[in-house]
Chain A
């Protein structure tokens, strides 16, 4: 058995990380599953007792989601409609047992290609706040996650919060997940969209697709092509297969072929767009 440290202050946690590498543990929902049937012999830094890391705060121009905020905390927080997509993702993370323990920040740090939290946070232009004994920095989510199980977090850093920029009140969002069963399912494809309507047209829009690439991807060309388009019946017709295929080259695996994922991603992007357009008061 390794050392287990559960500091009460962030400074103590950062001090420990400065001295030596630790496995950082919060909700445990990824830590333990990766260690089934083997000894727990690593040095573990349990950050769940660190003061001030849990909860969602209004920080002026953005919302600050503390690193220990669980999926259930998010679901129970009164937040604007721009968070509805993220909340839908929260309901799809494991069962309620997992939602009660697992954290949004942990979901980012685990960096699974099928992480439910990544597409909605990307579509919200969220960023990640990191701290080390040497200082703090903020990295956009789409740059923070760099590959399958890889992130920008350095060995002496800890994620302290996720920052979500505030949006106009009219902003709407959604999240769609495709899997082979109802609960407890790993995505075949997922799509998140955040839409700011602008006078009956698409204003700012964020569209991201998960489980179709090592890291979820924003569909920036599609976003550009849709910006300014009227929220009408022709909207979803503007989404072409090439918008997906040019960005994503999903692999074949037990959950579905790459070709199927591409096709399904197109269907889900259109359906999600139709949903947010309807939420925004358009007719699509």
Chain B
């Protein structure tokens, strides 16, 4: 991940890209903000940690409560950053692949698919291990992503924002009623499902991060490789093909990557909505629509957003916590509405 951030995308150094330096400044700013947030996330919480203790704990010491707190918050911060980064990336890629400004794993029903799969897994296959959850969640995410996209792109005009959003909302509704049907007579399953959902980023451990890491890496790689292809795809399939892009391959790679990321992120942290929607829109304001810049920046900003959301959730309700998911939803839904309001009648 850092390797990608360190090496600026190709073409950035060429003299004709006069906009490179503001973009670079934006990226640097985002990275700096992420750094600050990461430090805050480790230090602030029910018990605030002094800088001294922080450094000592990072050095491996575990002698007092503060240092222990740091050790507890480290994996959590790491997970928030990872999940935020991949959700931001997945959102940007989904918006690129579907050429649809409203694409988001939550809106498109992908997280609902992952949830349903996990419920089915717990109830009928006796699933209990985190690794099992991941495979099942990814499978569920993939199935619902394909379903929603196919249904949403039928008919005139292809996958318009309205059709995709409706297909996603309807699929989510259908899935959640299936979830209730499975859960209602099974109190035990309801509880372990809740336990999975409650995970958020609060229940993070290095072990859990380790389980999802391979999936996240593969997904991230797939998404970043197709960045240039997404730029061509943005012009429409026919034009992209005319420019020599292998449209089907690019689209398949990008979609696979995005689904892997959503599924794995949902598996480890539960459903977190709107990050994938909001982040790419914010990033487009900073660096424009060139995916070679947009994708890396979306990762950084996504990581920063989720870290911040987690931090806010921890601070507003001390000593209790508010889930990141609800924080991102409360921040994200207004952004969604602004995007919808800005869209012109015809593009709906």
- The answer to whether A binds B is no
